């Protein structure tokens, strides 16, 4: 069976090496040595000033909204994973969808301003498939209207934009280290910011507001990453260059061998060093997609309709029409992409599409 | 150094045995085999109909409040860990404190009714130190006023009340499997309910509302436990009888050797099979407590002021006066209690108090 992705497992002995440290320290969570080491290594890797690891990739979005969006209207994209919209609603804010760019698949920055009202407090945009939003234009809008910008950068491990880590843009970025991601800690995530004061607020927010055992900075919840998760991150990290190289190979195979006369590939934004995180193709029609899916399934190959459905169509999200997002959601398929896919598998997939 | 508690580490080879299964399955999260096995084992152990494991012990309280408390006033205890109050505030409800019983240290059920208003939606009470609340009386009040009852049973692994697991009471109970708890998964938790419909709502809530990859039941977040956590639970579980026995020994040592003419011990509620989870002593005065703390600290022994401060005194929680809770918080100390404490350590602790 070939799925859209396959979790990378580091050699078990690598993980065991870190486990022995945990057993030696007799320390399993609450800012252990391994969590701090992984934070430091990622900070150095991305050259970001502030980063806090979290137990999954949704909690940092929730904490960011609690700290920055203040129950207001949050302008967001309908073309993302459900977590983006759910976090907004869960945190008592109102999602206000604007449509997406049909080539880059990120939020259509030209429609953001018309969606701003007196209740708007923030923009929550997704760098879809690791493809950056129109960062400078969004920054201008946010500055003009005094809005906060939160980037859901769940797909963005390793992406650079204009010469630096994409995590350095916006008021803050969040990332996911879920098992399906390029780099993972089983479940896991992080938030990144360049603002020391904001980082402090987010950090307290992720650990009950604790300022020592008996004092509190403010309201917080538990989003702490444990040592067992950090051990996985530390075990995967040394393989990132291999993983990226293997993914680049698959992406270039698809690029060379797929017939783009009747389908569309993802247009990567200028000034971007991409991370080969997903291989989406947009077919001619939903019928064409369903036919391709059928052919693939018959050969035990399971790509993923991703993102589908368009989030504006989900019951609890308001059901306002978003033409481009709904159209693309109905026709887009993410092809299998992971380290370990064989050429014969890739040929078979290309033939089925 | 002796701390108030020490995480139990199962033999590393036990954990490695489960790790090999994870590596074999190539599956790290999203309802893996180990998570399901641990759920089944705990369900059988406690004879509870519904239980879902979560990534920590606070998220199930948050999800419970979202599903049951509906942004209303939640009657709660000031004598608990900060998570109880923080979760209420985080989920846009209002905590309404009532004072505690000076002997059992649980919420004073006789004052609940006077705190009920038209906005009250739920009671969130803590079985403090594993000591049950006045369950029947609270149930009567809730029934009369049509309120939901959520028990923060973070301390309650293994507690039985009136012949069955304490997790079977109230609309639902939550538990914590944090590293400091008797049974743990590093970080972790669970919710328990006897109501099939409620369980379904909570379950969807803990996994983005997913009903299949493309359909949604409602708004949800990510509270999934990963396989790395479940592996820890499965490794600790076979040692629970040993752990309980060792803790019982320490508790009985304190019971026999401490001088209760000038301090108070915890009064366990009738009909309870307790779990030896904490050993709190209430000293004559805060001065007496600070003197004991000093003597212990000089010998490198660190008990914990727990719970301190009384939650009603925390800035963001309203600062309404709660006489008994504030008084007890200022005088209570949890003594070291874990498997592995030596008699000589215990004698030293008793001498210092």
DSSP state of B171: S
Q: What is the pLDDT of residue B320?
A: 87
pLDDT of residue A18 exceeding 80, the answer is yes
H helix and E strand count, chain A:
12, 15
Q: What is the pLDDT of residue A212?
A: 83
pLDDT of residue A317 exceeding 90, the answer is no
Q: What is the pLDDT of residue B242?
A: 96
Neighbours of B270 (CB within 10 A): 9
**Cross-strand pairs, B126:** B152
Q: Give the pLDDT band of residue B209 (cuts 50, 70, 90).
A: very high
Q: Angle CA(A306)–CA(A182)–CA(A239) in degrees, nearest 5?
A: 160
Q: Does residue B161 contact residue B132 with C-beta atoms inside 8 Å?
A: yes
Q: pLDDT digit string (tens) for A125-182?
A: 999 999 999 999 999 999 999 999 999 999 999 999 999 999 999 999 999 999 999 9
Q: pLDDT digit string (tens) for A132-143?
A: 999 999 999 999
Q: What is the pLDDT of residue B115?
A: 97
Q: What is the pLDDT of residue B84?
A: 97
CA distance A194 to A171: 7
Question: Can you tell me the mean pLDDT for A38-61?
Answer: 98
What DSSP string describes A291-337?
HHHHHHHHTTEE-B-TT-S-GGGSGGGT----HHHHHHHHHEEEEP-
Residue ranges, CATH 3.40.640.10, chain B: 2-237
Q: What is the pLDDT of residue A114?
A: 97
The token duo for B230 is 């479940």
Q: pLDDT digit string (tens) for A101-134?
A: 999 999 999 999 999 999 999 999 999 999 999 9
**DSSP H stretches of helix in chain A:** 12-25, 33-46, 59-68, 82-90, 112-115, 135-145, 196-205, 227-236, 240-257, 286-298, 323-331, 343-352
Q: pLDDT digit string (tens) for B248-296?
A: 999 999 999 999 998 999 999 999 999 999 999 999 999 999 999 999 9
Class for the domain spanning B239-352: alpha beta
Q: pLDDT digit string (tens) for B123-173?
A: 999 999 999 999 999 999 999 999 999 999 999 999 999 999 999 999 999
Q: What is the pLDDT of residue A323?
A: 97
B290 CB neighbours in chain A (<8 A) are none
pLDDT of residue A316 exceeding 90, the answer is no
Q: Does residue A218 contact residue A205 with C-beta atoms inside 8 Å?
A: yes
The token duo for A92 is 């008592």
The residue annotated as part of the active site, out of B13, B43, B144, B181, is B181
Is A181 a residue of the active site?
Answer: yes
Q: Give whole-number Cα distances, A52 to A26, B87, B268, B317, in Å.
A: 22, 21, 41, 26
Contact B58 A187 (CB under 8 A): no
**Exposed/middle/buried for residue A260 (C-beta within 10 Å: 0-12, 13-18, 19+):** exposed
Q: What is the pLDDT of residue A164?
A: 97
Instruction: Match 């934009």 to its residue by tokens.
Output: A161
B86 at A interface, C-beta within 8 A: yes
From A58, A66, A219, residue closest to B222, measured CB to CB: A58
Contact A221 B26 (CB under 8 A): no
Residue ranges, CATH 3.90.1150.10, chain B: 239-352
Which residues in chain A (17-76) have CB-CB distances under 8 A to chain B? 19-20, 23, 26-30, 55-59, 62, 66
B314 at A interface, C-beta within 8 A: yes
Contact A187 B7 (CB under 8 A): no
Question: Closest chain A residue to B11 measured between Cα atoms?
Answer: A23
Question: Can you tell me the mean pLDDT for B29-40?
Answer: 97
From A19, A28, A221, residue closest to B90, measured CB to CB: A221
A210 at B interface, C-beta within 8 A: yes
The token duo for B68 is 């049951």
pLDDT of residue B318 exceeding 90, the answer is no
Least confident of B58-67, B155-164, B314-323: B314-323
**What's the length of chain B?**
353
pTM: 0.97
From A12, A56, A216, residue closest to B19, measured CB to CB: A12
Instruction: Match 């009470």 to its residue by tokens.
Output: B125
Class for the domain spanning A2-237: alpha beta
Q: Give the pLDDT band of residue B212 (cuts 50, 70, 90).
A: confident
Q: Shortest Cα distance from B257 to chain A (angstroms)?
A: 29
**Cross-strand pairs, A53:** A190
Q: Give the pLDDT band of residue B85 (cuts 50, 70, 90).
A: very high
ipTM exceeding cut-off 0.90 for this assembly: yes
């Amino acid at each position: 069976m070939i799925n859209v992705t396959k979790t990378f497992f580091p050699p078990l002995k690598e993980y065991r090496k870190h486990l022995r440290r945990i057993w030696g320290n007799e320390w399993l969570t609450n800012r252990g040595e391994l969590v701090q080491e992984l934070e430091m290594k990622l900070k150095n890797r991305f050259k970001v000033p502030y980063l806090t690891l979290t137990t999954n990739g949704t909690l940092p979005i929730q904490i960011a909204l609690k700290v920055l969006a203040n129950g207001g209207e949050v302008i967001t994209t309908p073309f993302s994973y459900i977590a983006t919209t759910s976090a907004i609603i869960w945190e008592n804010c109102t999602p206000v969808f604007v449509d997406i760019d049909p080539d880059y698949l990120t939020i259509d920055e030209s429609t953001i301003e018309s969606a701003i009202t007196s209740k708007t407090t923030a923009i929550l945009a997704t760098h879809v498939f690791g493809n950056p939003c129109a960062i400078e234009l969004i920054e201008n809008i946010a500055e003009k209207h005094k809005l906060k910008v939160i980037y859901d950068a769940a797909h963005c491990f390793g992406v650079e934009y204009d010469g630096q880590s994409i995590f350095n843009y916006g008021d803050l970025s969040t990332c996911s280290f879920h098992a399906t991601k390029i780099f993972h800690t089983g479940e896991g995530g992080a938030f990144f910011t360049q603002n020391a004061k904001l980082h402090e607020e987010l950090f307290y927010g992720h650990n009950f507001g604790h300022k020592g055992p008996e004092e509190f900075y403010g309201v917080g919840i538990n989003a702490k990453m444990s040592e067992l998760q950090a051990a996985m991150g530390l075990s995967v990290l040394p393989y990132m260059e291999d993983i990226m190289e293997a993914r680049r190979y698959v992406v270039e195979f698809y690029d060379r061998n797929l017939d783009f006369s009747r389908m569309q590939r993802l247009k990567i934004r200028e000034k971007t060093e991409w991370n080969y995180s997903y291989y989406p193709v947009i077919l001619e029609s939903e019928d064409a997609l369903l036919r391709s899916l059928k052919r693939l399934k018959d050969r035990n190959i399971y790509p993923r309709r991703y993102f589908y459905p368009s989030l504006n169509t989900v019951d609890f999200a308001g059901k306002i029409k978003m033409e481009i997002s709904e159209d693309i959601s109905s026709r887009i398929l993410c092809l299998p992409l992971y380290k370990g896919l064989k050429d014969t598998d890739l040929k078979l997939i290309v033939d089925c599409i």
